[in-house]
Structure 1
Amino acid sequence: MINYDGKIFRPISNSENGEVDLVMQFEYKQQENIVSSTYSGGRIKQGQLIALVDEQGHLDMRYHQINWEGKILTGVCRSTPEIMPNGKIRLYEKWKWTCGDHSEGESILEEQ
């Protein structure tokens, strides 16, 4: 199992319908198979995520956030890890809003 505790990730791409800004960062915390993070930046005033990690390092995630317009947004995400040649982790994410337009998107995060 990949241990995500203390790892910092930054987005390198995101679908147009997403709210994550490419200058944001996520510091992951992990206890046993539970991963969490609090985040903010870009269009997001404050957000939180919680996920279960499986033996292959996949994350089954739920997130909620408040944007600068004062709207609460929620979604689900499935992250698939890739260990890059430098030993850092790249996460390929497929996500879906569970509110609003219920649209889907993809993003890529890299460990810093």
Structure 2
Amino acid sequence: MQTSFSRISERLNDRRFAVASNSHGLSGSDTVFHYLVEGDAISSTYQGGRILIGQQVGRVTGPNTIELLFQCLTTESELLAGWSRGTVGVDHAGRTTLAFEWGWLSGATGGGESRYLELLAEKQEK
């Protein structure tokens, strides 16, 4: 029997994602996110563009939903932290998609919405 955790794991574990859109955020098209999933626990690292290094930790909250806390150090030496709630989906080509609502907790104010698209295998080797 497949659980919501296993479906999310199949879609996220050891996969890389790039920004498709990000209103009011720092990550951009040069930022790559690499996710790992163990049970209902999610972690990731990200970097590129204005992000020198970033980390996320979170959990599966439903059949296609997750929540994360994130922190990063920017190329301008800003230390920032925030939260996000997201939905894991699939596009017409079979690639995993992520859609988030997010907000800052420290280092900045406001928030926004962002969308991410799974990188093809040949682009994941960067």
Give the TM-score of the pair, scaled to structure 1: 0.91
Q: Which residue does the alignment assign to 2:79? A: 72
Structure 1: 4+ residue segments shifted above 6 A? none
Consecutive unaligned residues in structure 1, runs of 5 or more: none
CA distance, structure 2, for counterparts of residue 73 and residue 40 of structure 1: 14
Q: Secondary structure at the match of 2:30?
A: coil
Equivalent pairs, count: 111
Shift of the alpha carbon at 1:83?
1.9
Counterpart in the other structure of 1:9: 17
**Structure 2, unaligned runs of 5 or more:** 120-126
What CA distance in whole angstroms lies between the structure 1 residues aligned with 2:81 and 2:62?
Answer: 26
CA distance in 1: counterparts of 2:101 and 2:32, whole angstroms? 18
The CA RMSD measured in Å over matched residues stands at 1.3
Report the Cα offset of residue 87 of structure 1: 2.2
Partner of 1:109: 116
Identity of aligned pairs, percent?
30
The 1-side partners of 2:78 and 2:48 are apart by 15
Deviation at 1:62, TM superposition (A): 0.1
Select the structure of larger CA radius of gyration.
2
Name which of 15, 20, 36 aligns with 2:43.
Answer: 36
Q: Distance in 2 between matches of 1:34 and 1:94?
A: 19
Q: Give 1:68 shift.
A: 1.4
Counterpart for residue 67 of structure 2: 60
Task: Compare the two structures and name the one with the higher helix fraction.
Answer: 2
**Contact 2:86–2:98, Cα closer than 8 Å, also in 1:** yes
Letter in 1 for 2:21: S
